[in-house]
């Protein structure tokens, strides 16, 4: 089946630094990818929709200057958490729809900001 | 704005029981509905996808139904096993994808 990878799987960083998370669709092309955040014991929350070749669409309450999204190619989207703070510590997951519109999810990235 | 609700929030059953998880959504203008499984600290595994034109999908011991007009879906798990213990999420695809809060299932040996 279709596979979506994320890198890194875990990252620990100091407050104030920036962290880049990559999301790749390994065997299919995706013009759209989705980025989610999940706080402990809470459900996934959609952060933004990444669009290849154009600007990302952000959900209400998500700071676009803080969470930079770049959909550089049909198989790669990146999420950069700029000037990370402890409250940004979370589990970040991306997904990409296949041609049949089945959503395939990456394994997630656990971000810890000290 | 689409809202997705899952009931119950948590469920604990003995091994072997058949069980039903419920998902409801407020906007019936959807393309599809998908059920996922999430193990602690892990990503999501897709279980079943039901297109808006379909009424149910089956995979092994899992059966998912969709009643778009009433905004409901159910996930039926037959003969539950301890390995089924996980959080089950439903997600509705409209212009974007909205998740329910999930049902935490524990199957006791």
Confidence of residue B82 (pLDDT cuts 50, 70, 90): very high
pLDDT, tens digit (0-9, with 9 covering 90-100), for B31-60: 889 999 988 766 678 899 898 999 999 999
Percent of chain A at pLDDT exceeding 70: 95
| pLDDT (mean) for A15-39 | 92
Cβ separation of A34 and B34 shorter than 8 Å? no
Residues B36, B44: contact at Cβ < 8 Å? Answer: yes
Cβ separation of A105 and B43 shorter than 8 Å? yes
Size of interface A-B (CB pairs under 8 A): 50
pLDDT at site A7 = 95
In terms of CA atoms, which chain B residue is nearest residue A110? B41
pLDDT at site A39 = 79
Confidence of residue A1 (pLDDT cuts 50, 70, 90): low
Confidence of residue B104 (pLDDT cuts 50, 70, 90): very high
pLDDT at site A3 = 85
| pLDDT (mean) for A81-104 | 88
pLDDT at site A98 = 78
| pLDDT (mean) for A97-106 | 78
The pLDDT of residue A41 is above 70: no
Chain A residues with CB under 8 Å of a chain B CB are 6, 34, 36, 42-46, 49, 91, 93, 95, 100-108, 110
The DSSP H or E segment spanning B103 is strand B103-108
Whole-number Cα distances in Å, A38 to A14, B93, B97 = 20, 18, 15
Cβ separation of A101 and B46 shorter than 8 Å? no
Q: Looking at the complex, does the CB of residue B81 fall below 8 Å from at least one CB of chain A?
A: no
Other beta carbons within 10 angstroms of residue B71's beta carbon come to 19
Confidence of residue B73 (pLDDT cuts 50, 70, 90): very high
pLDDT at site B44 = 78
A-chain residues near B100 (CB < 8 A):
43
pLDDT at site B42 = 66
Closest Cα in chain B, distance from residue A18 (Å): 23
In whole angstroms, what is the distance from residue A86 CA to residue B42 CA?
21
In whole angstroms, what is the distance from residue B36 CA to residue A22 CA?
22
Q: Which residue has the tokens 């990503």?
A: B43
Nearest to A46 among B32, B42, B96 (CB): B96
Kindly report which listed range (A26-40, A80-94, B72-86) carries the lowest average pLDDT score: A26-40
In terms of CA atoms, which chain A residue is nearest residue B10? A41
Whole-number Cα distances in Å, B17 to A35, A74, B102, B103 = 36, 44, 20, 16
Strands (DSSP E) contained in A1-114 are 4-7, 10-13, 19-25, 32-38, 45-51, 57-58, 67-73, 76-81, 90-97, 103-105, 109-113
Confidence of residue B87 (pLDDT cuts 50, 70, 90): very high
């Amino acid at each position: 089946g279709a596979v979506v990878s994320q890198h890194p799987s875990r990252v620990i960083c100091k407050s104030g630094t920036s962290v880049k998370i990559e999301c790749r669709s390994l065997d299919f092309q995706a013009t759209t990818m989705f980025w989610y955040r999940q706080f402990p014991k809470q459900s996934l929350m959609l952060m933004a929709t990444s669009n290849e070749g154009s600007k990302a669409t952000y959900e209400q309450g998500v700071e676009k200057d803080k969470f930079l999204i770049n959909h550089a190619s049909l198989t790669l989207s990146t999420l950069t958490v700029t000037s990370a703070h402890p409250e940004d510590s979370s589990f970040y997951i991306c997904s990409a729809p296949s041609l049949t519109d089945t959503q395939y999810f990456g394994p997630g990235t656990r971000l810890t900001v000290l | 704005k689409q809202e997705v609700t899952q009931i119950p929030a948590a469920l604990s059953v003995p091994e072997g029981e058949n069980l039903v998880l419920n998902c409801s959504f407020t906007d019936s203008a959807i393309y599809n509905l998908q059920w996922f499984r999430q193990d602690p600290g892990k990503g999501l595994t897709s279980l079943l996808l039901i297109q808006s034109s379909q009424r149910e999908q089956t995979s092994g011991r899992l059966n998912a139904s969709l009643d778009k007009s009433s905004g409901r879906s159910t996930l039926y798990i037959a003969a539950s096993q301890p390995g089924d213990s996980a959080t089950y999420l439903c997600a509705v695809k409209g212009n974007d994808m909205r998740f329910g809060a999930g049902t935490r299932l524990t199957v006791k040996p």
